[in-house]
Structure 1
Amino acid sequence: MDAATIAGLLADPARLRVVAALALGAGTLERVAEVTGLPLKDVVVAARRLGRAGLVRRDRHQLELLTEHFGAAARAAAEAAPPPEPLSADPAEDAVLSAFVRDGRLVSIPAQHSKRRVVLEHLVRVFDAGVRYPEREVNALLAVWHPDTAALRRYLVDEGLLTREAGLYWRIGGWVDV
C-alpha cells in the first residue's frame, strides 16, 4: 500500500477518527464508537473500508490497527521521492543550508559563525538591493524563515548584510541575483 492511498483513506473524518482511536488503544467496535463519538454503524463502515485496504484486521468485534503498513508506506514514499534541489551550487554551502533549512524555513540559527554566515547570506536574498524596509516589513519577511526575527535582524546587521538607520533597513551585502 502506498502513502497516497493511506492519505486518501485518512482524508475521511470518520476513518481518521477510527484509526486514531485504534492507535490509542481502543480494540473493539463498541469501544471505538464510544471513544470517537461516532455511531456504531459509521465505525463498522469505516472499519470495513480500512480492513479491505489492509490497515485494520477485524475479528468479529475485535479490531487491530496494522501499524507496520504506515511505516512501510512512509519509507517507500521517502525512497521514491526525488532528491531535493540543492540550495546552493557550492557543495559546501549546500551541505550547511541543507542542515539548517527545511521546506523553506530555518529550523535553527547556527551557533558556529561560519555556518551562520552561510545561512545569513542565503536569507538576505529576500531583501531587494536599493529598497528601504521599515522594521515591521523586515520582521514580516524574516518571520517566514524563523520566529526569532530580532536575532536574525541583529545577525544580518552585525554581519554587514543589512544596515539600519532611523528605523529603516536596507541591504548592503551578500550576492545579488541578476
Structure 2
Amino acid sequence: MEAATIVGLLADPVRLKVVAALALGAGTIEQVADASGLSLKEVALAARRLARAGLVHRDGRLLVLHTERFGAAARAAAEAAPAPEPLSDDPAADAVLSAFVRDGRLTSIPSQRSKRLVVLDHLVRVFDPGVRYPEREVNALLAVWHPDVAALRRYLVDEGLLSRDSGVYWRSGGYVEV
C-alpha cells in the first residue's frame, strides 16, 4: 500500500478516529465507538472502507489494525523519494550541513567550532555584500534559520562574517560568488 493511499484514507476524520482508537487498543466495533465518540454505524462504515483498503482486518465485530502496513508504506515512500540536493559542492561541508540543516532550518547550532564555521559560512549568504542591515532585519533573516538569533548574530560577528556598528550590520566575510 502506498503512503499517499494511507494519507488519503486518514484524511477523513471518522476513519482517522477509528484508526486512532484501534491503535490505542480498541478491538471491537463497540470499543472503537466508545473510545472515539462515534456511532456504531459510523464505525462500521469506516471499518469496512479501511478493511477494503487492507489497513484493518474485520472479523464480525472484531477489528485488527495492520500497523505494519504504515511502516512499510513509510519505508517505500522514503526509498522512492529523490535524494536531497547537496547544500555545498564540498562533500565535507555538505556532510556537516546535512547534519544540522533540515528543511531550510538549522536544527541546532554546532558546539564544535569547525562545524559551526561551516554552518555560519552557509548562513551568512543570506546577507548581501555591501548592504547595511539594521539589527531588526538581521534578526528577521536569522529567525528563518533558528530561534536563537542572538547567538547566531554573536557567532557571525565573532567569526568576522558580519561586522556591526551602532546597531547596523554588514557582511564582512565568507564565500562570495563572483
TM-score band, normalised by the shorter chain? over 0.9
Gaps of 5+ in 2: none
Point out the more displaced range, 125-134 or 52-61. 125-134
Alpha carbon RMSD of aligned pairs, Å?
Answer: 1.2
1:88 aligns with 2:88: yes
Question: For the residues of structure 2 that align with 1:164 and 1:14, how far apart are their CA atoms?
Answer: 56
1:59 aligns with 2:37: no
- AA aligned opposite 1:82: P
Q: Encode CA deviations 1:8-35: one digit per residue, 9 max, x unaligned.
A: 1111111111111111111111121122
Q: What is the TM-score with the length of structure 2 in the denominator? A: 0.95
Question: For the residues of structure 2 that align with 1:28 and 1:137, how far apart are their CA atoms?
Answer: 57
Q: Encode CA deviations 1:56-80: one digit per residue, 9 max, x unaligned.
A: 1111111111000000011111111
Question: For the residues of structure 1 that align with 2:140 and 2:22, how far apart are their CA atoms?
Answer: 42
Aligned residue for 1:7?
A: 7
Q: What is the TM-score with the length of structure 1 in the denominator? A: 0.95
Alignment of 1:26-37 (within 5 A): 26-37=26-37
Aligned residue for 2:123?
A: 123
Question: For the residues of structure 2 that align with 1:124 and 1:168, how far apart are their CA atoms?
Answer: 15
- AA aligned opposite 1:163: S
Q: Encode CA deviations 1:131-169: one digit per residue, 9 max, x unaligned.
A: 222222222211111111111111111111111211122
Runs of 4+ in 1 over 4 A off after TM superposition: none
Q: CA deviation at 1:81?
A: 1.1
Q: CA deviation at 1:39?
A: 2.0
